[in-house]
């Protein structure tokens, strides 16, 4: 079961996503929490750096944005044979100082780093993604049925605008062609509206701002697993019901209105956030995780803690590791950690037990909309995985480094 809690307070809107009663994601929108990913800007190239094969672009934010050469040329796709024959050009062949560009933010600014941007604009809808600058046709990898993939691919070819690309999203599985066409038509109208605004937009400056939190929720999170939505504002509840009815979603009948200013209190959301800002995470069995984030990667250590098991050491270790695998997937989503992740599970001698733990981790990560890739065990018995970096971490949104220890966690005697 999936439930979404929406809490409106003053000018702030916050959303919490629960799966099987566990908090897995928190989103908010106001002030410093404003969502930047997806925004489109007119920018000006400030510096071209051949040694980094990248450029810094002024888009009007506090820090210049970072544009890597691969994001400044037409994109490569793993299943497109044409892309395998095209080596990347050098950045100085693509960009020149003072050159004006239309770019889109793909990663939020973080700490001392500016936003990461791309010239490959994408306009996402509920069922489709419009790519105005490439003619690629793709289908979400999460749709595994080959017959359905072929059906959707053919539909995409038929409805795609000439010279533009379309990606069919996971939510489109089982959706009829008319709905896909209507969805894409709205995106095309939005793109033409953006083009019309270009001559009147300043350089650097914002051209198009991505949709607000409520609209993103309807676009990204409302899937077949959502069974309930709980909100504390009448107008929000009415708007959700009307939109969900138009989409034919059964959750339209399960929008619950609770007149309470701090709705998150009933669901212990803020308490879960406080726990997720600590390095130690206790498991229900009595074992625990220690999660440490560094500049380059995130390291997770698994320990049996208070759990002593019942039958054998092997069973105790397997039970702790499987429970840890599920919790690790939840913590990565909740904390929004990305990049390289190294997990030190408790040593297992049985290959069958190792496979079971990896399978548990893969299954738990499959629930994550952000792309995760599990590489397997290293020679040292560590599990390597990656998770795409999207947006700011929970710690960056709700905290700041200690001015005394500068994030070390220790002070000198």
Q: What pLDDT is recorded for position 79?
A: 60
Q: What pLDDT is recorded for position 32?
A: 46
Q: What pLDDT is recorded for position 412?
A: 81
Q: What pLDDT is recorded for position 212?
A: 83
Over residues 163-203, the pLDDT tens digits come to: 999 999 999 999 999 999 999 999 999 999 999 999 999 99
Q: What pLDDT is recorded for position 80?
A: 62
Q: What pLDDT is recorded for position 251?
A: 87
Which distant-in-sequence residues (6+ apart) come within 8 Å of 104 by Cβ? 38, 39, 40, 41, 117, 118, 119, 120, 121, 122
Q: What pLDDT is recorded for position 277?
A: 93
Q: What residues of the chain score a pLDDT lower than 70?
A: 30-34, 77-86
pTM: 0.85
Q: What pLDDT is recorded for position 85?
A: 55
Over residues 220-243, the pLDDT tens digits come to: 888 888 999 999 999 999 999 999
């Amino acid at each position: 079961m999936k439930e979404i809690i929406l809490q409106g307070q003053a000018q702030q809107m916050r959303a919490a996503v629960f799966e099987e009663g566990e908090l897995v994601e928190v989103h908010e929108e106001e002030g410093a929490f404003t969502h930047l990913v997806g925004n489109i800007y007119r920018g000006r190239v400030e510096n071209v750096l051949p040694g980094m094969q990248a450029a810094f672009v002024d888009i009007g934010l506090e820090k210049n944005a970072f544009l890597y050469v691969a994001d400044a040329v037409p994109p490569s796709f793993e299943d497109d044979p044409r892309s395998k024959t095209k080596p990347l050009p050098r950045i100085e062949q693509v960009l020149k100082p003072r050159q004006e560009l239309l770019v889109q933010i793909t990663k939020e600014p973080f700490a001392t780093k500016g936003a990461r941007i791309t010239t490959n604009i994408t306009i996402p809808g509920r069922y489709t993604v419009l790519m105005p600058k490439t003619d690629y046709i793709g289908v979400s990898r999460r749709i595994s049925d080959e017959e359905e993939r072929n059906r959707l691919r053919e539909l995409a070819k038929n409805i795609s605008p000439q010279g533009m690309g379309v990606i069919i999203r996971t939510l489109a599985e089982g959706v009829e062609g008319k709905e896909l066409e209507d969805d894409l038509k709205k995106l095309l109208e939005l793109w033409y509206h953006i083009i019309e605004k270009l001559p009147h937009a300043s350089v650097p400056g914002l051209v198009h701002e991505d949709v607000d939190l409520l609209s993103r929720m309807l676009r990204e999170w409302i899937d077949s697993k959502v069974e309930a939505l709980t909100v504390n504002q009448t107008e929000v509840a009415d708007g959700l019901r009307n939109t969900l009815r138009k989409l034919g979603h059964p959750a339209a009948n399960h929008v619950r209105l609770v007149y309470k200013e701090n709705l998150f209190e009933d669901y212990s959301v803020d308490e879960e956030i406080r726990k997720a800002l600590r390095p130690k995470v206790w498991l229900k069995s009595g074992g625990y995780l220690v999660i440490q984030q560094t500049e380059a990667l995130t390291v997770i250590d698994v320990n049996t803690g208070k759990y002593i098991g019942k039958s054998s050491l092997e069973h105790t270790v397997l039970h702790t590791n499987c429970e840890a695998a599920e919790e690790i997937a939840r913590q990565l989503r909740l904390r929004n950690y990305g990049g390289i992740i190294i997990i030190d599970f408790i040593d297992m001698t049985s290959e069958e037990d190792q496979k079971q733990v990896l399978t548990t981790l893969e299954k738990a990560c499959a629930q994550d909309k952000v792309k995760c890739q599990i590489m397997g065990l290293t020679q040292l018995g560590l599990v390597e995985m990656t998770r795409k970096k999207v947006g700011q971490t929970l710690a960056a949104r709700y905290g700041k480094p200690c001015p005394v220890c500068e994030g070390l966690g220790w002070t000198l005697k």
